């Protein structure tokens, strides 16, 4: 079964984008990373849950968060969310 995920990544024109894996276009564009993260979680919640993956400005992964009712791969260790 494929995981439902959205990535919060830096946009080439500045700001932040919410993207689905392998998508040609961004789902949405935002001025701040926190706005993009909130929108990614809204999209996932409306789509049955999944994983929000947040990237740093250099593109590397900073954090991830499971949005209910998604399947958290590490439930006992994820104490931040």
Per-residue pLDDT tens digits for 25-52:
999 999 999 999 999 999 999 988 999 9
Q: Long-range contact list for 56-61, CB < 8 A, 24+ apart?
A: 57/10, 59/9, 59/10
Per-residue pLDDT tens digits for 3-20:
799 999 999 999 999 999
Q: Long-range contact list for 16-25, CB < 8 A, 24+ apart?
A: 18/43
Tell me, what's the pLDDT at 18?
Answer: 98
pTM metric for this prediction: 0.82
Q: What is the mean pLDDT of residues 51-76?
A: 84
């Amino acid at each position: 079964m494929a995981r439902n995920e959205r990535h919060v990544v830096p946009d080439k024109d500045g700001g932040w984008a919410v993207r689905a894996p392998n998508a040609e276009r961004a789902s949405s564009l935002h001025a701040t990373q926190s706005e993009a993260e909130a929108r990614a979680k809204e999209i996932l919640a409306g789509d049955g849950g999944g994983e929000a993956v947040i990237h740093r400005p250099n593109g590397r992964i900073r954090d991830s968060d499971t949005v209910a009712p998604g399947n958290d791969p590490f439930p006992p260790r994820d104490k931040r969310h």
